[in-house]
């Protein structure tokens, strides 16, 4: 990992010259993708700090955590951008960001903005029985899906929890055969049909590019 390919420490943030700089406050599940976009586009004026990805297991805590991060760092940066979608906050995060005067990624969740919010919405009715995984969730399937749902202790819950699903769609941000193999295995564990759909970075790239 290169020195600039990490989330900033508190000391790094405090030492930064905020003139013309942008701070991205992001979900930890998006760190790899954001860093890849920063490298590819030379967005050296953007700094990144991430909140724990496991906040997604407790969406009621996301809004407060983001608000605290904004207040902590707003004096050190000219612009702060929140790299979360609604993520189960029921509109609470968008309302808080508007109150704080900061922008955020539009859309209901990362599955939508990776696909492209308009494209995702257009097919939503036909994909009500689809369970989605991203690169991050394929890598962290046990930690973010299997164990939190209790399937490691009670595999018999699978049919109850996933009985209404028919297909697992892996939204691939990268072309990685190893992740494809792992995603297929995840689908098999859940008893679902498998589809790989390359999305790249979708609207995430467009939104960050707009800041540039």
Question: pLDDT digit of tens for each residue in the chain (212 aa)?
Answer: 333 333 444 434 444 456 789 999 999 999 999 999 999 999 999 999 999 999 999 999 999 999 999 999 999 999 999 999 999 999 999 999 999 999 999 999 999 999 999 999 999 999 999 999 999 999 999 999 999 999 999 999 999 999 999 999 999 999 999 999 999 999 999 999 999 999 999 999 999 999 97
Q: What does the pLDDT read at residue 18?
A: 64
Q: Residue 79 sits in which domain range?
A: 10-105
Q: Do 99 and 60 belong together in one domain?
A: yes
Q: Do 77 and 134 belong together in one domain?
A: no
Residue 53 domain-assigned (yes or no): yes
Q: What does the pLDDT read at residue 1?
A: 37
Residue 132 domain-assigned (yes or no): yes
Could you say which of 86, 105, 124 is where a domain stops?
A: 105
Q: Do 75 and 147 belong together in one domain?
A: no
Q: What does the pLDDT read at residue 205?
A: 97
Residue 203 domain-assigned (yes or no): no
Q: What does the pLDDT read at residue 14?
A: 42
Distance CA 26, CA 81 (A): 8
Task: Quickly list DSSP for the chain.
Answer: --TTSSPPPHHHHHHS--TT-EEEEEEGGGHHHHHHHHHHHT-TTEEEEEE-GGGGGSGGGHHHHHHHHHHHHGGG-SEEEEE---TTSTTHHHHHHHHHT-EE--SSSHHHHHH-HHHHHHHGGGGTTEEEEEHHHHHTHIIIIITTTTTTT-GGGHHHHHTT--EEEEEESS--HHHHHHHHHHHHHHT-EEEEEE-TTHHHHHHHHHH-
Distance CA 117, CA 123 (A): 10
Q: Do 15 and 97 belong together in one domain?
A: yes
Residue 52 domain-assigned (yes or no): yes
Q: What does the pLDDT read at residue 22?
A: 97
Q: Do 101 and 122 belong together in one domain?
A: no
Q: Do 154 and 194 belong together in one domain?
A: yes
Residue 207 domain-assigned (yes or no): no
Q: In this structure, what is the dihedral angle of CA atoms 147, 160, 108, 169, given to the nearest 10 degrees? A: 80
Could you say which of 81, 105, 129 is where a domain stops?
A: 105
pLDDT tens digits, one per residue of 148-166: 999 999 999 999 999 999 9
Q: Do 141 and 91 belong together in one domain?
A: no
Q: Do 101 and 150 belong together in one domain?
A: no
Q: Do 119 and 181 belong together in one domain?
A: yes
Residue 204 domain-assigned (yes or no): no
How many folded domains does the chain comprise? 2
Residue 211 domain-assigned (yes or no): no
Q: Do 61 and 19 belong together in one domain?
A: yes
Q: Do 193 and 163 belong together in one domain?
A: yes
Q: What does the pLDDT read at residue 11?
A: 35
Q: Do 45 and 119 belong together in one domain?
A: no
Tokens of 79: 């612009």
Q: What does the pLDDT read at residue 64?
A: 98
CATH of the domain at 18: 3.40.50
């Amino acid at each position: 990992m290169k020195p600039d390919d990490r989330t900033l420490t508190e000391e790094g943030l405090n030492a930064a010259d905020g003139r013309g700089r942008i701070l991205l406050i992001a979900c930890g599940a998006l760190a790899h993708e954001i860093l890849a976009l920063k490298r590819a586009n030379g967005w050296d004026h953007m700094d990144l700090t991430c909140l724990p990805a496991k906040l997604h297991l407790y969406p009621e805590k996301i809004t407060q955590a983001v608000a605290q991060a904004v207040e902590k760092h707003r004096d050190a940066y000219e612009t702060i951008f929140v790299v979360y979608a609604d993520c189960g906050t029921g509109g609470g995060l968008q309302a808080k960001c508007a109150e704080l005067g900061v922008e955020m990624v539009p859309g209901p969740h990362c599955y939508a903005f990776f696909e492209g919010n308009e494209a995702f919405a257009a097919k939503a009715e036909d994909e009500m029985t689809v369970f989605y995984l991203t690169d991050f969730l394929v890598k962290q399937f046990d930690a973010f899906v299997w164990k939190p749902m209790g399937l490691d202790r009670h595999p018999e819950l699978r049919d109850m929890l996933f009985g209404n699903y028919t297909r697992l769609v892996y939204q691939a941000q990268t072309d990685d055969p190893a992740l494809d193999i792992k995603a297929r295995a995840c689908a098999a564990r859940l008893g679902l049909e498998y589809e790989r759909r390359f999305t790249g970075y979708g609207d995430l790239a467009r939104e960050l590019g707009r800041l540039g």
